[in-house]
Structures are given as structure tokens and as C-alpha cells.
Amino acid sequence: MRDIDILKQKLGKRAGVNEVLSKYCFLRIGGPADIYFEARTTKEFIKVILLARSHNIPVTILGEGSNVLISDAGIRGLVLTNKANEIEILDKATKKERNSAVTPRWESDSKVGTFKYEFKDLDYDESNYPRVKVKMESGVILPQVIDFLLKKKVTGLQWYAGIPGTIGGAIFNNIHGGTHFISEVLEYVRVLDKRGKSKKLSINDLGIDYDKSRFQESGEIILDAVFLLYTGDVNKAMYVKKEWAKRKSLQPRNSPGCAFQNLTQKQKTKLGFPTTSVGFIIEHKLNLSGFRVGDAAISKKHHNFVVNEGKATAADYLTVVKEIYYKAKEKLGVTLVPEIFFLGFNNKEVGEFRSQESLSLRKTRKLEIKKAYKNSKKLFSKP
């Protein structure tokens, strides 16, 4: 019997195949997995990963599938989701922990092009409030935990209102909400490494950047994390949450979020554009409004979103993304970096997005963000 069949047998009736397509991803695009499994506890999550590895079966972790494009051919091996979603409010942070916390901020772009999604007016500094430690398993659903914690008078996640996904996915991609990154309130992350050992990584070891963490290369799997949040102003946080979610509700849901990262400041200056917004570029500089392949279309609500307007395939979606990518290269000499993760594709299909050029653009962005953090700290300096 093949290893994949042995694994299927060991996982029993709960091992499915088609759920990747039917349950996950707002896009509703993708093919089946060889095996699909939902772990109910973190212990089971670890057990299943180790079992698959012992049979040399590749493991792909899926959160809520809100940031991925899954190939029409599906995903070979095991696709595993952690449904463990416990939230534990721990003690108040000690003085040492408070001081070790990273609380940088970065400035948002100018209003042009991104006006609908402007956030600056809602921003405020929470760093004077007492901090509280909260442990979350990687399967915790982000919109749910924001509400749960606000009810318990814990603040600090309000900036991420309206962002779908799990805590695992949020850390993997270091999500950004308005002028904030989730890493600002992370203390440590517990992972399962490639050798099957569980270990704790502190914030300084996470390789945090814009849309980036070390997990994108390390192959480590996020089990749970401890956040350093605030017992802050609940009414204010509630207002930010509602208002920000309202502004973000303009973004289409039948997509896996923004197709591309915004330009670096260096690219913006070189091109003489008023904004780094890729939505602005797609609409006004590439004139691609309304472009579609089959049912995959550039959204008119937000041009950096590619949506499924019916029965789009992953191939259709990828063709639209590539049209934007190559038009930007050809017309503007700009290399765009995709924001979504491509699962189940081979290098031939998506190799251009893994080029050396994309990596060096990431480096530029990292430097720019570090600089912006430094400057914006002045904006929030304590009275």
C-alpha cells in the first residue's frame, strides 16, 4: 500500500479530500488535497504532522484560506488545519516583559489613491496602559478574538478589525492593519520545527517585516503564541474596531485579499507617483480597470483585489495577476510583489514571483519601514 493510503487509513473517517475547495478561501477556487484533515486540539495537530512526516508525506498548513490561491490541480500530500482555538488571559506583564516588548509604529501613505482606506485619524498610542499577557492557539479566529477580548476589557487588536483569518495566518504574514503590524504586540510564538521539536521563539527571533515572518522560509509550524496586549480604553478601541471594519467593508470578500504589496517609497519617488498604492497604479497607470479572464476580474471597488465573479479557475486568476505583473514591468519598469500565497503550484507556474528581484525589493521595504517606525515614534512620543 502507498504511504498516502496508509496515512489516510490511520487518520480514519475524518480524513477528507475536497474540503480545500468547498470550505476554505473566499475565492472558492482550488482543487482537492490528497488528504485533508482538521485537528481538534494542538496535541492532535502535532501528532498528525509527525505521523505524515514519518511517512514522508508533505504537509501544507491552511488557516482560513483567506490569503491563498490554491491550484486547480489541488495540493499533493496532507492539507492540515488547526481548529484548536483556546484563548487564555494570563497575568499582567512584569516590568521586564513590558520593557522587552516591541512597540514600533509606521506611518500610512498619503491620502491619494488610498483615501477610502485611510486610517490615520483613528490612530492613537496605547503604550501608557498596563499590559496583559494573552495566550492563543494558532486556530483562533482573528475577528472572533478581537470581540472576545474587548468584552474582557483587553485592547490592542482593534487595528486588525475586518481582516479574516486565524492567528496562525496572522503571524505567518505579520498582518498589517492601518498603521500597525501584529508583531507590535507579540511576545513569543511556540512552533513545531522541522525535526518535530516544539520550541519557543521570542519576538526578536521571528524575522518580522512587512507581510513577512521567518515562517515563510523556515518550514516551522505555528502552534500558539503569547501576546502582550493592554487593559486600555475599551470604548475608544471599540470605536476604532467598528469604524475601521466599516471602511474595510468596501473591500470585496470574493478574493484572497490584495493581490500585490504596495510599492516601496523608493519606487514611488522614482516614478513620481503621488502614492505607493498598487490599486491606484492598476486603475490609473495601467488602465486595467475591468480586465478579466473568464470569471476572474480586477475588482472595481478596489483595483488591487482580483475577484471570482462566478466560476473562475485558479488558472484564470493567475492569468489576471500575471497581466498586472507584466504590464507594470513593461509600462512602468516596476516589479510588483504578490501579497497572496500560491499553494499547489510548481515553479514553472509561479517562478517569476520567487525571483531575486522580489527578494531585493523586500530588503528595500524593510529598511524603509524601519525608518518610518523611527520617525513615527516621534508622533507618538509620551507627553
Ligand X SMILES: Cc1cc2nc3c(=O)[nH]c(=O)nc-3n(C[C@H](O)[C@H](O)[C@H](O)COP(=O)(O)OP(=O)(O)OC[C@H]3O[C@@H](n4cnc5c(N)ncnc54)[C@H](O)[C@@H]3O)c2cc1C
Point out which residues bind ligand X (CB under 6 A). Answer: 26, 61-68, 82, 138, 163-166, 168-170, 172-173, 175-177, 215, 221-222, 251, 253, 255-257, 341
Q: How far is the CB of 305 from ligand X (least distance, A)?
A: 7
Which is nearer to ligand X, 91 or 217 (by Cβ)? 217
Which is nearer to ligand X, 113 or 256 (by Cβ)? 256
Q: How far is the CB of 289 from ligand X (least distance, A)?
A: 19
Which is nearer to ligand X, 172 or 325 (by Cβ)? 172
Q: How far is the CB of 30 from ligand X (least distance, A)?
A: 11
Q: How far is the CB of 109 from ligand X (least distance, A)?
A: 13
C-alpha cell at 92: 499582567
Q: How far is the CB of 303 from ligand X (least distance, A)?
A: 14
Which is nearer to ligand X, 16 or 327 (by Cβ)? 16
Q: How far is the CB of 338 from ligand X (least distance, A)?
A: 12
Rounded CA-CA distance 298/292 in Å is: 6
Which is nearer to ligand X, 71 or 138 (by Cβ)? 138
Q: How far is the CB of 307 from ligand X (least distance, A)?
A: 10
Which is nearer to ligand X, 148 or 341 (by Cβ)? 341
Which is nearer to ligand X, 93 or 215 (by Cβ)? 215
